[in-house]
Amino acid sequence: MLIYKILRAPEWAAMQADGHTDGAPVDLRDGFIHLSTGPQLAGTLDRHFAGEEDLTLLACDAEALAGDLRWEEARGGQLFPHLFRSLRLSDVVWTRPARDAGQLPR
C-alpha cells in the first residue's frame, strides 16, 4: 500500500540535498511525520495546503516503513499513518507534482 507525504518546494529541496527530512513545521511540532493514504490525500491538500502551489507529492511503501509507522486516529476519526523517524529519500517510491494527486494509482 502506498502512503503519501506532501512537501513545499523548500522542504523538498532540503530533503533532496540532505537525503532525508524530519518534515514540515507541523511535523516537527508534533514529533512525527504526518502522512496520508490515497483516499485521505484530497482532504489533506484542502485542509493544509489550500491555495499553495509548487507542492511535491512523495509516495512511500507503508510496509517498508512498518517498523516506524503508527496508524493513529486523527481528522474525523480516520486512522492516519504517522512516521516516527526521519523520512529518507530511499523510502520514496516516486514523486510527482501534488496537483496530479487526483490521478493517483490505487
pLDDT tens for each residue of the chain, 106 residues long: 999 999 999 999 999 999 999 999 999 999 999 999 999 998 999 999 988 989 999 999 999 999 999 999 988 899 999 999 999 999 999 999 987 665 555 4
Q: Hey, what's the cell of 69?
A: 509507522
Domain ranges of the chain: 2-99
Helix (H) or strand (E) holding 81: strand 79-83
Strand 92-97 relative to strand 55-61: parallel, antiparallel, unpaired?
Answer: antiparallel
Chain-centroid distance, C-alpha 20: 13
Q: What is the pTM of this model?
A: 0.91
For the domain bounded by 2-99, which CATH number is listed?
3.20.170.20
